[in-house]
Amino acid sequence: MGLIKIGFSFMLGTTFGIYVAQNYDVPNINKLYKTGLVVAKHYEENYRKPKSKSDVVDDRSDS
């Protein structure tokens, strides 16, 4: 009984997803994901705390 219920739910969800994708303007998730990564990287680069002078000296002594 459980397999039939799961299979029916899966088929119903797939059919609904196909209907929505064909009849509505659904955003491209991959493009949205990549845009989010670019924005996050830009935010991190601009708002990261600058390294203190002691960190820079420690980095040079490791080389």
What is the CB neighbour count within 10 angstroms for residue 36?
10
pLDDT in tens, 10-43: 999 999 999 999 999 888 899 999 999 999 999 9
Question: Any alpha helices (H) in 1-63, and if so which ranges?
Answer: 2-23, 29-47, 53-62
Give the pLDDT score at 59: 56
For residue 63, pLDDT beyond 60: no
For residue 58, pLDDT beyond 70: no
Domains identified in the chain, total number = 1
Measured on CA atoms in the order 48, 50, 52, 57, is the torsion positive or negative?
positive
Torsions phi, psi for 29 (to 5 deg): -65, -40
* HEC string for 1-16: CHHHHHHHHHHHHHHH
Give the pLDDT score at 48: 83
Q: Domain range spanning residue 35?
A: 2-62
For residue 44, pLDDT beyond 80: yes
